[in-house]
Amino acid sequence: MDLCKICDHGLETIISFGEMPISNRFVSDLTTDEFFYDLSLGFCPKCLMVQLENCVDPDMMFNPDYAYFSSISRAMEGHFKEMADEIIVSVSDRPRPFVVELGTNDGIMLKHIAERGVPHLGVEPSANVGASAREKGVNILVEFFNSKCASEIMDSHGQADIICGANVMCHIENINSVFDGVRILLKPEGEFFFEDPYLSNIIQKTSFDQIYDEHVYYFSGLAVSGLAKRHGLELVNMVPQEVHGGSMRYYLKKGSGNPVTNNVDFFLSQEKALNLDSLEGYASFKERVDKICSDFRNVLLKIKADGKRVAAYGATSKSTTLLIYSKVGPGLIDYVSDTTPTKIGKYTPGTHIPVKSYEHFLGDSPPYTVLLAWNHKAEILEKEQEYRKGGGKFITFFPEVTIE
């Protein structure tokens, strides 16, 4: 039995997907062997954290070849500008504020803080995306954040008014060390906030493609409040976010007895109503995943049998789980269109579907396109009005397979 990475209690398995490759490692040479690990999701009945049962070594995922550049979407640019504005307001009355961001990536958020001349530091282990942030004037420390790194930052820069991170806390297996680090680095009156895909949304929508190597944790307010307490922190607010198919932003303060918003009670009660505090809440998840996958494969087989072609849109890391678990490869999807220069010309991990440029997609105009980047649906549908007017159809798969 695998043990909880937070409290060492035995994990209950929710679903096993089998062997998976590293989801952001696009393949350039099909003759070289890929690394595979066993992907399965577990629930800790003691601390209520949903998590991967086996984790991949962080150096294998986050390194100078990291494929994900945050600034790929206009909607995400807007989202992070708003986050930066909120930070600017909240530090405006502090004498010499210091803002630390974990998982800065290409500086999509912190560039706005840098532009305003606010002292800041981005902690980003993947040197390539970190270099892109530096080009935007952002101060970057190429390191994995943990308690040791936090002590070093405190010695060199002092404590922080704000520590934040988006889509990064769920990536860090050694989260106890990260929370200890936050306690060390945060000023007594400082604020720590982070956001990640929200467990309630994943379970309710069956958006199982969020489950892959980089996403070690699937946070709920129930689990985060307990985790915070273990580390001398307190969950004081929860604010839902529309991005990435439904995320939750958690606000934490040091100590206990801080004013706590009604939102926390509200979302914790909702989570309990969904039974996310017991294995029962996850009981039908695998069955629903299996249905989506067989429907998805059958729809593609039918289109193929009718002699039509299918392409896909967005070489996302999350689609690794969908494609492999559904047994969908280059026999059913001709290529995946993507705007990220470092992904183009390579092949999707494990399934080896060619990744082609967006220009190729525009010229080709395939009759059917699987919307792998479904979390950017609004932005993409707006952009692809011509494609749809010309008869092109998108295939989506949550909460059920749909052609639109």
b/e for 27-52, b at 16 or more Cβ within 10 A?
beeeeeeeeebebbbbbbeebbbbbb
- Rounded-to-integer distance, Cα 111 and Cα 115, Å: 6
Q: If contact means CB under 5 to 8 A according to the sort of partner, which of ligand TYD, ligand SAH, none does residue 292 touch?
A: none
Is residue 177 at the binding interface for ligand SAH, with CB under 6 A as the rule? no
Residue of 342, 337, 313, 372 lying closest to 126 (CA atoms): 342
Question: Binding segment for ligand TYD among 44-52, 65-73, 200-208, 322-330 (CB under 6 A)?
Answer: 65-73
Is residue 72 at the binding interface for ligand TYD, with CB under 6 A as the rule? yes
Q: If contact means CB under 5 to 8 A according to the sort of partner, which of ligand SAH, ligand TYD, none does residue 73 touch?
A: ligand TYD
- The minimum distance between CB 322 and ligand SAH, in angstroms, equals 19
- The minimum distance between CB 350 and ligand TYD, in angstroms, equals 14
Is residue 350 at the binding interface for ligand SAH, with CB under 6 A as the rule? no
- The minimum distance between CB 265 and ligand SAH, in angstroms, equals 27
Is residue 171 at the binding interface for ligand SAH, with CB under 6 A as the rule? yes
Q: Which of 83, 168, 300, 395 binds ligand SAH (CB under 6 A)?
A: 168
The amino acid occupying position 37 is: Y
| Choice between 177 and 317, CB closer to ligand TYD | 317
CB neighbourhood size of 402 (10 A)? 14
Residue of 206, 213, 204, 171 lying closest to 321 (CA atoms): 213
Is residue 126 at the binding interface for ligand TYD, with CB under 6 A as the rule? no
Cα angle vertex 391, ends 384, 293, to 5°? 80
Is residue 368 at the binding interface for ligand SAH, with CB under 6 A as the rule? no
Contacting ligand TYD within 286-345 (CB under 6 A): 314-318, 338-340, 343
Contacts of 197 (CB under 8 A, 6+ apart): 167, 170, 207, 210, 215, 218, 244, 245, 246, 247
Classify 123 in phi/psi space as left (phi over 0), alpha (psi -120 to 50) or beta: beta
- Rounded-to-integer distance, Cα 153 and Cα 163, Å: 12
Q: If contact means CB under 5 to 8 A according to the sort of partner, which of ligand TYD, ligand SAH, none does residue 126 touch?
A: ligand SAH
| Choice between 334 and 379, CB closer to ligand SAH | 379
Q: At what angle do helices 147-157 and 175-185 cross, to 10 degrees?
A: 20
Q: If contact means CB under 5 to 8 A according to the sort of partner, which of ligand TYD, ligand SAH, none does residue 62 touch?
A: ligand SAH
Is residue 166 at the binding interface for ligand SAH, with CB under 6 A as the rule? yes
Q: How far is CA 281 from CA 47, 49, 56, 184, 203, in A?
A: 15, 13, 27, 35, 8
| Choice between 132 and 147, CB closer to ligand TYD | 132
| Choice between 122 and 366, CB closer to ligand SAH | 122
- Rounded-to-integer distance, Cα 162 and Cα 190, Å: 6
Is residue 249 at the binding interface for ligand SAH, with CB under 6 A as the rule? no
Contacts of 143 (CB under 8 A, 6+ apart): 123, 125, 149
Q: Which of 373, 387, 397, 398 binds ligand TYD (CB under 6 A)?
A: 373
Report how many residues bind ligand TYD under the rule CB under 6 A: 19
Contacting ligand SAH within 291-320 (CB under 6 A): none
Is residue 103 at the binding interface for ligand TYD, with CB under 6 A as the rule? no
Is residue 197 at the binding interface for ligand TYD, with CB under 6 A as the rule? no
| Choice between 181 and 221, CB closer to ligand SAH | 181
| Choice between 150 and 315, CB closer to ligand TYD | 315
Q: Which of 26, 66, 219, 282 binds ligand SAH (CB under 6 A)?
A: 66
Question: What residue ranges bind ligand TYD (CB under 6 A)?
Answer: 68, 72-73, 314-318, 338-340, 343, 358, 373, 375-376, 379-380, 383
Question: What residue ranges bind ligand SAH (CB under 6 A)?
Answer: 58, 62, 66, 68, 70, 102-103, 105, 108, 123-126, 129, 144-145, 166-168, 171-172
